[in-house]
Amino acid sequence: MSAADVPSTFGGCRHLPEPKREELKVHSRRVVLASVLDPRDRATRGSALEEIQGLAETAGAEVVGRLVQMKDKPDPATYLGKGKLQELKDLVRESGADLVVVDNHLSPSQGKNIEEETGTQVVDRSEVILDIFATHARTYEARLQVELAQLLYMRPRLTRMWTHLERIEGGIGSGKGPGEKQLETDRRLVDRRISELQRKLKDVEERRERVVAGRKGHTTVSLVGYTNAGKSTLMRALTGADVYVADQLFATLDTRTRKWAIPHWGDVLLSDTVGFIKNLPHHLVASFRSTLEEARHADLLLHVVDASHPDAEQQIATVNTVLKDLGIDSQEPLLVLNKVDAVEDRSLVDVLRGRHPGSVTISAAQKMGLDRLEQAVAERLGEGYLQLDVETSVGNGRLFAYLSEHAEVLGKEYHDSRVKMQCRIPRRFAGMLASDPETEVRNADGSAFRVSADDDDEDAAPVNGREGRSTPG
């Protein structure tokens, strides 16, 4: 097959009737994987192509060849060096491949140059991920997010699609050639669709923000982590939720939330989220902002790690970087070392635990260590709470309303016209209790409760309702 017969991504695409990228690029293709690896990056040398192979196979491809070049930096024009490019061309021919998958981000011109050299269509890592996302998107929201990410990826590549036409048909100094006109039309179409998608997503986001805000009175915990770490398996083990589990990358794209009853603590809402991966296209992360809204507002993040993976440490670092990029790094997540059943050499787990003090080891699949996890979660959640004895008159409706909104009442005793309650309350809401003249507040050990700077929240309504937003009651 010649290059001209192949519907190209980077090079000779003639038609772009719809600014949508609906067709899958990688599915049922025979692919050769190619990667440029920095020789200093010894850690990943052995497993260099494993992740991209997993991605390509999840996207439905058959891998028929692999090629790695050790080089400080990819070639700016052709990605691979000259000799390797020739090798790639031979490999493509010998293996009967019809697609080259490059394990990096390619500039539009790099992609086009490899296509011209090898006579085969080329896609990069981002496009494989986009393909998987497109296949796994189930909800309206996920579909909007994926289409937006696809168009944002495609837009800068439109230019290249038309330059060759320009060369063939564009007149010298005679205004705009057909390629350029077509390009303008396509860009306008793409831009219009991008705005439309952004508008629709904004609506979805606002709806989600309302849902998240509605959970204000509940404690929320979110599962985050590298893709395939076992987040959904853990969600299932803890809540019995019927979430999708698969040995696939990006099995989960939508956030699911379920009730999780933690012994000696109570109910919390647990959310499963989209997994992360290294070199995740930035616009893709941005498109999934609303899905990650739950994680942003969570009281606690559980960072799930596949402890049996040889690159576990690097995956932990990647997840931390993505969380930081998304601005979800105000709290230290609780590290959950999962799949310990699959680790043959236990000393590897000990190394991970040593490097990450406070982490918990579990096997979500075999439901091992879940009680320890629950205990650790209760402890971490408890850090943000105070246990207090609150005594007031039985007619203090405003106080009861305040407690029912912000606290959990663990016990109650009546003495004539007084009532004494044991409460668990987030620190930030505790300060306001002490401001109510009818109420006496003590710590659980009986000592007098004093307000510290941490225990005060400017947003919290005063219990006596004399100023600011008043509590109902």
Comparing CB distances to ligand GTP, the nearer of 51 and 436 is 51
Build a one-symbol-per-residue string for 123-142: x at contacts with ligand GTP by CB under 6 A, - elsewhere: --------------------
CA distance 357 to 422: 33
Options 20-28, 85-93, 357-365, 450-458: segment touching ligand GTP (CB under 6 A): 357-365
Build a one-symbol-per-residue string for 337-356: x at contacts with ligand GTP by CB under 6 A, - elsewhere: -xx-xx--------------
CA distance 439 to 433: 7
252 in contact with Mg ion (CB under 5 A): yes
Closest approach of ligand GTP to the CB of residue 28, in Å: 21
Cα dist from 48 to 85, 104, 310, whole Å: 18, 12, 11
Comparing CB distances to ligand GTP, the nearer of 136 and 157 is 136
Build a one-symbol-per-residue string for 213-242: x at contacts with Mg ion by CB under 5 A, - elsewhere: ------------------xx----------
Task: Find the binding residues for Mg ion in span 57-76 (CB under 5 A).
Answer: none
Which position has the token pair 């996890």?
373
334 binds, among Mg ion, ligand GTP, none (CB under 5 to 8 A by kind): none
Residue 325 identity (one-letter amino acid): D
Options 58-66, 168-176, 252-260, 375-383: segment touching Mg ion (CB under 5 A): 252-260
Closest approach of Mg ion to the CB of residue 246, in Å: 8
Question: Which distant-in-sequence residues (6+ apart) come within 8 Å of 410 by Cβ?
Answer: 387, 421, 422, 423, 424
Q: What are the tokens at 112?
A: 């086009």
3-class DSSP assignment, residue 189: helix
Question: Which distant-in-sequence residues (6+ apart) come within 8 Å of 204 by Cβ?
Answer: 140, 141, 144, 290
227 binds, among ligand GTP, Mg ion, none (CB under 5 to 8 A by kind): ligand GTP
Burial of 87 (0-12, 13-18, 19+ CB in 10 A): middle
341 binds, among Mg ion, ligand GTP, none (CB under 5 to 8 A by kind): ligand GTP
CA distance 462 to 370: 39
Compute how many residues bind ligand GTP; rule: CB under 6 A: 24
Closest approach of ligand GTP to the CB of residue 374, in Å: 16
| Closest C-alpha to 364, from 267, 279, 243, 459 | 243
242 in contact with ligand GTP (CB under 6 A): no
Task: Find the binding residues for ligand GTP in span 266-285 (CB under 6 A).
Answer: 275
Identify whether the C-beta of residue 33 lies closer than 8 Å to the C-beta of residue 56: yes
Options 186-194, 245-253, 290-298, 406-414: segment touching ligand GTP (CB under 6 A): 245-253
Task: Find the binding residues for ligand GTP in span 222-241 (CB under 6 A).
Answer: 225, 227-233
Among 150, 271, 363, 471, binds ligand GTP (CB under 6 A): 363
| Closest C-alpha to 133, from 34, 277, 332 | 277
Identify whether the C-beta of residue 388 lies closer than 8 Å to the C-beta of residue 443: yes
Residue with smallest beta-carbon separation from Mg ion: 252
Comparing CB distances to ligand GTP, the nearer of 186 and 306 is 306
Question: Which distant-in-sequence residues (6+ apart) come within 8 Å of 294 by Cβ?
Answer: 212, 220, 222, 255, 257, 271, 273
Q: Report the run of H or E that residue 163 belongs to, with start and end.
A: helix 140-169
CA distance 292 to 222: 9
111 binds, among ligand GTP, Mg ion, none (CB under 5 to 8 A by kind): none
Closest approach of ligand GTP to the CB of residue 235, in Å: 8
Closest approach of ligand GTP to the CB of residue 266, in Å: 25
Identify whether the C-beta of residue 90 lies closer than 8 Å to the C-beta of residue 22: no
Comparing CB distances to ligand GTP, the nearer of 275 and 431 is 275
Identify whether the C-beta of residue 58 lies closer than 8 Å to the C-beta of residue 132: yes
CA distance 156 to 42: 34
251 in contact with Mg ion (CB under 5 A): yes
Beta-bridge partners for 300: 221
394 binds, among Mg ion, ligand GTP, none (CB under 5 to 8 A by kind): none
Closest approach of ligand GTP to the CB of residue 284, in Å: 14
CA distance 25 to 128: 8
Which position has the token pair 């109902």?
472
Closest approach of ligand GTP to the CB of residue 30, in Å: 25
Comparing CB distances to ligand GTP, the nearer of 138 and 412 is 138
Comparing CB distances to ligand GTP, the nearer of 229 and 433 is 229
Closest approach of ligand GTP to the CB of residue 291, in Å: 12
Question: Which distant-in-sequence residues (6+ apart) come within 8 Å of 190 by Cβ?
Answer: 19, 151, 154, 155, 158
Interacting residue ranges for ligand GTP, rule: CB under 6 A:
225, 227-233, 245-252, 275, 338-339, 341-342, 363-365
Interacting residue ranges for Mg ion, rule: CB under 5 A:
231-232, 251-252
